[in-house]
Structure 1
Amino acid sequence: MFNRKKLSIAVISALAASPLAYAQDESEKGKIETIQVTATKRTESIQDVPVSMSALNGKQLEKLGLDNFNEYVEFLPNVVFQGTGPGQNEVYIRGAATTQTNISVSTVQALQPSVAFYLDEQPVSMQGRNLDVYATDMQRVEVLPGPQGTLFGASSQAGTVRMITNKPDHAGFAAGFKTSISSTKGGEMSNSVEGYINITPTNDLALRVAAYNDSQGGWIDNVLNDPDNGGYRGSAQVISRISGGVLADPANTPVTVPKNDALVEDDINDATYSGARFSASYHINDDWNLLVQHTQQSLNTEGVFSYDPNLEGESSTNRFQPESNDDDFGLTTWTLEGRLKQLEVVYTGGYLDREINSLIDYTGYTNGGLFSAYYVCRYFGLPAEEQECLDPTKFYKEETDTSRVTHELRFNTPVENRWRLTAGVFYDDQDLSTIGLFKIPNTDLFPDMARTLVGNEGINSDGGPFPSEVGFVNDITHTIEQIAVFGQGEYDLTDTLTLTLGARWYEIDDTYKGSTTTADVSGRLRAFGDGSDQALIDFFGEEAAQGYIDAIASGQLDVSLVDENGTVTVDDVIYKASLDWKVNDDVLLFATYSEGFRPPVTNRVGGGAATNSSGVFADFRIPVYSTTDTLDNYELGMKGDFLEQTLRVNATAFYSEISDLQTSRFDPTNISFLVFTDNVGTAEITGLDADFQWYATDNFVLNGAMSWLDTELTEINTELRGIAPPEGSRLPFSAEFSGNLQASYFYMLENGWEGYVNGAINYTGDRLVGMTMDAYVMEDATQLIYGTGSGLKIEQEAALFEGVTYTDESGNTFAGGRYVQESYAVANIAFGVRANDWTAELYIDNITDERGMQYIDTQQFTPKVVSSRPRTIGVRFSYDAF
């Protein structure tokens, strides 16, 4: 979403169920090529698979210059890429979206993804931060909308994305490279270089190496914080209101405004992808083959990829700490394929090791939360004239190590049989260890505060209650272990009618260990797992334990899935059924029922009671875990080639229901940033995906795709009424309508070269932000802090925050609503020349310099906007030798 370049021939082919081919025989010229996919874990023609899907093969990926999955997704109307920057994104498909935990605690308390992400056979999904794989030397990319859980397991709830790499080719030597350079309006230059080489030392051994480096220049400016010109005011009024009115005279309380003089810089949001992939393929004998691959990648970013809408322009921000994100991973995979008589056997496994080091400006924490004044103001026992608020500058530093080991053994019966079966067993072991260091308080404040709170004996040698400027620590280890048995069978009822049945049994153990500065997570979960009154008394103390005992006895607090080791265990069976009819050689109709699920999520402070247990929060307690949520999907689809295979039209209508909907949430009046996950209700989604490709002539191609969605929150937990959107509201982040159109024209030059021109336009409709109606509250904070509102559009969904006290000093109650990521259209054009093995292209992306709202980030209690890259002009050159 940050490198908007490289729209070349038929980029909108990426939207369609099968893309166009550009190197065709004369007899096939002007016809649509059908590519082979493995969506059902067999190799089949994409038009014969009774599954709605999109695919783009490697030849097009190379010619189009699509290096990142986000570039591909940009033109898929039923797929949404939401996040705050490279390596910090989440994928949603067909409107099945809720609110993820903000990035500062995503590794501690995020939901599992609703879309599974695969690199070849290896699942590489991760909560809050999907692996950002650079798409170099790819064979194809497959996107499968709708539940794919029977074959692809957990997190394939709303769909699956698969990036399939080029494997070593035993045919002989091959090599190639491509390079590009571009300039972004108001930003820095970008450049990239990629290359690969394929060699065959022996007839049975083939080796392939691909390497890349892509430096993407920034365009966001960190401008001087100027309180007299719309800058950060650090208002004592907002601190007092959010903190419960603790300041005696907030309007006249002196405030230290944070300074960013040393950090003022243009184009701060740089990103660099660099890495390599090493592959070896060995023919053991005529029946067995072994493939081993290793991918190593480093992603390094600086700055932020969002602007402050309250500042002038659409590229300005105020940040008060240096920010960076270093994301490195190594992925080793292996696949052994062979035959046992008529049975095809595949064993595949992988080991993923990922390290993340982030430094994030956390100054916005002061903009909201019960303890704002506690962290930045002197007011304990002081008269109004002596109260003051100090510098609120804060940071968050994260160090996260993730490892993931998977094994899958599966068997396929011969494809020519009237009945066909794919069956196997799958094992997955994920381990995530994270340490988050928060500078929350102003350290100059604490000698006085500490004496007031804990007395002289509680003060450390440096004069404060904390040993350093780090005031809060998350130290968490999260392990998810899964085993599953799956099978999918097909039976040809007639020569044209096929029945498909599939099922998957799974068992997942979720183990959450560690502690925060204020809580022993491991001990808490072991106490709940034991379940006895004595265990709860031993951990919480006799007085506090009674509340937990009563909540468990009444059924208000469910601990039935926790064992004595603090592990949450779930198991279930999901199903799929499909009936497809091959009307003729060119038309396929299908009807499908399928189920998908997301694993449970254990909360770090499960069982905690609301500080203000009144109104709808009477007797409220944070759930110990959110249970599995499931998606039931019904769809009718058609795939067809017409007009002698010059026109392809594919369409799928679907209805989905999500039960026990998981979302990230917080109690804004009590807990503030203490984010947790919960099952909040149910939702329904009705939609239609459609795409077409038309070879109008041998030289003129027209492509289009569109998605209609009607999403509805049908049930919501009682205590969320007035906070979450009401029943009947739309789910977040997905537009009711999105679509695109592209035209490509090819022509021959006098010297035998081929030229081409293509243009594309992509439209994205309005989308609502998040699952909390907090926009008016954030607008109030923005007004108090900056002296101006954000100017962003808000959809009011409730007259008042019913039962929740959201008032200012005058007693005014705020309306409920969500920010709107407004609709936008981006147009691109490209001019190219191709001859033999080389291609040269001039392209202009975002011709009109549209700053489309791709994400509104509210984690700092004032909105920040992630937008599309400004107008970018570039050239690209590629060469392939075979």
Structure 2
Amino acid sequence: MKLTKLHCAVLTAIAASGSLYAEEAEKKENAKIEVIEVTATKRSASIQEVPVTVSALTGASLEKLGVANFDEYVEFLPNVVFQGTGPGQNEIYIRGAATTQTNISVSSVQALQPSVAFYLDEQPVSMQGRNLDVYATDVERVEVLPGPQGTLFGASSQSGTVRLITKKPSHDGFTAGFDTSTSSTQGGDLSNSVQAYFNMPVSDSVAIRVATYNDHQGGWIDNILNDPGNGGYIGSAEVISRVSGGALANPSTTAITSPNNAELVEDNFNTASYAGARFGLSYLINDEWELLIQHTQQSLDTEGVFAYDPNLEGETSTNRFMPENNNDDFGLTTWTLEGRLNQLDVVYTGGYLDRDISSTIDYTGYTNGGAFSAYYVCNYAGVPEAEQSCADPTKFYKENTSTSRITHELRANTSDQNRWRVTAGVFYDYQELATVGLFNIANTTLDGAYNFTNLERTLVGSDGINSDGGPFPSEISFVNDITHVIDQIAVFGQFEYDLTDTVTATLGARWYEIDDSFKGSTSTVDVSGRLQAFGDGSDAALTEFFGAGEAAAIQAAIANGQLDTSLLDDNGTLTVSDTIIKASLDWKVSKEILLFTSYSEGFRPPVTNRVGGGLAKNQAGAFDGFRIPVYSTTDSLDNVEVGFKSTLLDQKLRLNATAYFSKITDLQTSRFDPTNISFLVFTDNVGDSEITGVDGDFSWVATEDLIISGAFSIISSELTSVNDELVGIAPPVGSQLPYSAEFSGNLQAQYYYQLSDGLTGYVNGSVSYTGDRLGSMTMDAYVIEDATQLVYGTGSGLSIQREADVYSGVNYQDSDGQTFAGGRYIQDSYFLANLSFGVTNDEWKAEIFIDNLTNESATLYIDTQQFTPKVVSNRPRSIGFRFSYDFY
């Protein structure tokens, strides 16, 4: 059967943002948008009848939008944002529940747990700072469940859950197909991709499905020659001395060698390549039981960086001094056994994830911040003033991280036909993350360099790291060697009861217990010994590790409540357990309209600190008596929402909306304040916050040839309290949370027209808008701007929101002798537009597409990891051709 205009229109219905739509209609004259089945409540149900908010993209929608990886499809989900530094290095936030996460360079070592759970089918694959970047090929749909989903989906579902649902082997017959594309980016290199799949029943009871892909994405960022005379990296002894607390006697005349990147100059050096395959096998054991086994293998390799330096001319230029790369490989094997036992539908599902990450990161910018900068670059201790000098500050960081994760879940559902329905199950999750990070941050080329023996001690290892302390005869001067284990068990259940034929009440709960073990050491901290001493808590244990004087001070801090160690056992393992609940009420007003309201709870577990209990280096002002928390405590999110779902105008218009109010208690944040506290990052609880918002989406079959659809998100967030030690450092009470815009939304239109010979032509257009967002939880923008001015001789030109007259967390002054103001960078608003047009029949499709039609350079993220801002941006305008063919 040939595709009619309406078949094509409904097939792509909205794709983008709002709900999941039907993939066919009956006849032209009876055109209707039909819904499909989703599993948002771990039961299969029509999306319009599920009394929870669900926004998503179908596989057909993703294809029409021409998106395949995470950062692309998030643009079409207005209540979802991502922040990060490139492919495989992103964090997800939903409905404004965001805070500052640890920089990617040490996220494997010391980072907050995700607030949004990411699932591939039934398996959670979230990871702090580095969510699994699964290429979206042969995908059924992407489901987004905003708001706490902890009762059914666990710990990291604090503010929502994202689920990538793949297509499964079908027993209905042989199908196969491929999709290939090539495109050219303005000012950049060519990109090309190929995807293919086949599905084949091999017997009456066995079917297999294989999907494979290879996608090379050409670069557009140029690594230009460092030219100190033309806005390049000048390198200033003044900034080194300032952030080191005035270490150099006369920084204005102290010589410093500017780094040289001549051998690394390259146009379009930020490439990304995805390659992988998914294998699936379905076995129909009998009429009631089925076994599904799948394995996904993927490699993601990137070169260069995906951010430009705003202090350089243009929006595609950067100065990098070390070759940078990120190699991210994973294998995920999953299994699902489902069937019936008497009146119960039983599902057992499990998975094993093995992920390896290898990265090299330019760390030259570390020179620009931190009390220890002069130690790393200059000779000054005991050196005559006239002989003081600072060497080439070029530095690097190498990381190797191995992650394994095994999960099991057994659940049962009663019949959907009962007036009462129960979903109940048990869940087990074991994660182990082992990481070794090697830092080249210290200079060994200057005579009379400061002796580091008492400042840092490096680990003895087979890789040649020096074993006798400083002054760093090895190029590796600092090491992280950490193993992090999370062991979780949970029991969950949900009970639904039809109070009347149209009103249903639901109550859900989840009990969980999490053991968090954080072991290993850095060059300066024996993490295992430190936590064991805190866990033991006795005078003897604390004295043995810290010494008598410090042990007494720590005991006093524990006694007066400044330090909490109650969650640690004798081995230093952190254990937390609790029960969270969810309750809802829904009313089927008519066949076309559903109203619902709910209360739900979500949480993130505590995070252990490497340097917990440490006394701040600077004991003045806000830091007088400050000690780093042993761990950040659980932050919890309570959410109330009310919404409606409607299918109107004889199923030609779908309109859904939800209003919500969320309260976050003890909001976790990541902190890095090397000038005043510690040169190691740690986590803390900033205070409490509230979020109010509205989500909405619609899809309208305007004519038999035209479908218009869209979605929007309105968010108002504020800090309602700030912990005492963060006053003047964190934004003040009433400030907006970072990363989420007050308004964002998108619109799409699909128009179809008949051609001769049974062909159908089409035009697809989409536009998305994202409003201004604040760039972090720390008011350090003016401090970073000062470093930028000193290092490059110019400011960044980025927008800053001034939020405090005095940034009391920093103890150095500007040229007028005034303390720095407090402010945060603004990630400015942007519009993105895409256009495609093509021809299709029931077997093939040929399409020309233009992504980023207006060539907008969007500020997706402002990265301050280098102590000067770098702007992560989107790909410039790209024009390409796509062809696909399906065999039936």
Equivalences for 1:744-763 in 2 at 5 Å? 744-763=750-769
Contact 2:223–2:320 (CA under 8 A) maintained in structure 1: yes
Query: Which residue of structure 2 aligns with residue 201 of structure 1?
Result: 202
Contact 2:245–2:812 (CA under 8 A) maintained in structure 1: no
Q: CA deviation at 1:543?
A: 2.2
How many residues align? The count is 873
Query: Which residue of structure 2 aligns with residue 143 of structure 1?
Result: 144
Q: CA deviation at 1:9?
A: 8.4
Match of 2:790 among 752, 770, 784: 784
Contact 1:29–1:698 (CA under 8 A) maintained in structure 2: no
Deviating more after overlay: 122-131 vs 698-707: 698-707
Equivalences for 1:83-482 in 2 at 5 Å? 83-445=84-446, 448-450=449-451, 465-482=471-488
CA distance in 1, matches of 2:449, 2:820: 35
Match of 2:670 among 630, 649, 664: 664
Query: Which residue of structure 2 aligns with residue 489 of structure 1?
Result: 495
Is the partner of 2:109 in helix, strand or coil? helix
**Are positions 1:620 and 2:626 aligned together?**
yes
Query: Which residue of structure 1 aligns with residue 697 of structure 2?
Result: 691
Contact 1:632–1:656 (CA under 8 A) maintained in structure 2: yes
1:452-489 Cα deviation digits (max 9, x unpaired): 9799xx99799953351000000000000000000001
CA distance in 2, matches of 1:880, 1:625: 54
Name structure 2 gaps, 5 residues minimum: 1-8, 460-464
1:724-761 Cα deviation digits (max 9, x unpaired): 11000000000000111122211101222011112211
Contact 1:87–1:131 (CA under 8 A) maintained in structure 2: yes
**Are positions 1:705 and 2:679 aligned together?**
no
CA distance in 1, matches of 2:651, 2:95: 28
Query: Which residue of structure 1 aligns with residue 77 of structure 2?
Result: 76
Contact 1:10–1:743 (CA under 8 A) maintained in structure 2: no
1:806-827 Cα deviation digits (max 9, x unpaired): 3136522111000000001011
Q: CA deviation at 1:545?
A: 1.4
Deviating more after overlay: 371-380 vs 11-20: 11-20
CA distance in 1, matches of 2:56, 2:543: 57
CA distance in 2, matches of 1:134, 1:498: 38
Is the partner of 1:544 in helix, strand or coil? helix
CA distance in 2, matches of 1:839, 1:280: 28
CA distance in 2, matches of 1:341, 1:771: 53
Query: Which residue of structure 2 aligns with residue 864 of structure 1?
Result: 870
Is the partner of 2:252 in helix, strand or coil? helix
**Are positions 1:528 and 2:534 aligned together?**
yes
Deviating more after overlay: 52-61 vs 237-246: 52-61
Query: Which residue of structure 2 aligns with residue 508 of structure 1?
Result: 514
Query: Which residue of structure 1 aligns with residue 802 of structure 2?
Result: 796
1:241-293 Cα deviation digits (max 9, x unpaired): 11111111111111100000000000010000000011111011111110111
CA distance in 2, matches of 1:767, 1:225: 31
Name structure 1 gaps, 5 residues minimum: 1-6
The AA in structure 1 aligned to 2:18 is A
1:308-340 Cα deviation digits (max 9, x unpaired): 000000000000000000000000000000101
CA distance in 2, matches of 1:61, 1:168: 20
Contact 1:747–1:754 (CA under 8 A) maintained in structure 2: yes
CA distance in 1, matches of 2:214, 2:454: 53
CA distance in 2, matches of 1:642, 1:814: 57
Q: CA deviation at 1:617?
A: 1.4
Equivalences for 1:621-636 in 2 at 5 Å? 621-636=627-642
CA distance in 2, matches of 1:417, 1:262: 71
Contact 1:18–1:47 (CA under 8 A) maintained in structure 2: no
Is the partner of 1:108 in helix, strand or coil? coil
TM score, norm. by length of structure 2: 0.96
CA distance in 2, matches of 1:860, 1:419: 57
The AA in structure 1 aligned to 2:204 is N
Provide closer, same or farther for how the CA distance between residues 62 and 742 of structure 1 changes in structure 2, counting only shifts above 3 A.
closer
Q: CA deviation at 1:69?
A: 3.0
Provide closer, same or farther for how the CA distance between residues 201 and 64 of structure 1 changes in structure 2, counting only shifts above 3 A.
same
CA distance in 2, matches of 1:451, 1:540: 20
Deviating more after overlay: 800-809 vs 635-644: 800-809
**Are positions 1:849 and 2:837 aligned together?**
no
Deviating more after overlay: 441-450 vs 816-825: 441-450
Q: CA deviation at 1:59?
A: 3.4
Contact 2:706–2:749 (CA under 8 A) maintained in structure 1: yes
Q: CA deviation at 1:868?
A: 1.4
Match of 2:740 among 720, 734, 740: 734
Deviating more after overlay: 695-704 vs 727-736: 695-704
Is the partner of 1:132 in helix, strand or coil? coil
Contact 2:534–2:568 (CA under 8 A) maintained in structure 1: yes
Provide closer, same or farther for how the CA distance between residues 460 and 635 of structure 1 changes in structure 2, counting only shifts above 3 A.
closer
Is the partner of 1:407 in helix, strand or coil? strand
Contact 1:845–1:873 (CA under 8 A) maintained in structure 2: yes
The AA in structure 2 aligned to 1:263 is L
The AA in structure 1 aligned to 2:289 is W
Q: CA deviation at 1:668?
A: 4.8
CA distance in 1, matches of 2:469, 2:667: 47
Contact 1:699–1:747 (CA under 8 A) maintained in structure 2: yes
Q: CA deviation at 1:693?
A: 0.8
The AA in structure 2 aligned to 1:107 is S
Query: Which residue of structure 2 aligns with residue 18 of structure 1?
Result: 20
Provide closer, same or farther for how the CA distance between residues 199 and 645 of structure 1 changes in structure 2, counting only shifts above 3 A.
same
Superposition RMSD in Å: 1.9
Contact 2:837–2:848 (CA under 8 A) maintained in structure 1: yes
Query: Which residue of structure 2 aligns with residue 3 of structure 1?
Result: none
Query: Which residue of structure 2 aligns with residue 4 of structure 1?
Result: none
The AA in structure 1 aligned to 2:19 is A
CA distance in 2, matches of 1:342, 1:184: 57
1:691-737 Cα deviation digits (max 9, x unpaired): 11111101011111111100001111112111111000000000000
Q: CA deviation at 1:445?
A: 3.0
1:150-172 Cα deviation digits (max 9, x unpaired): 00001100000001111111112
Query: Which residue of structure 1 aligns with residue 6 of structure 2?
Result: none
Query: Which residue of structure 1 aligns with residue 727 of structure 2?
Result: 721
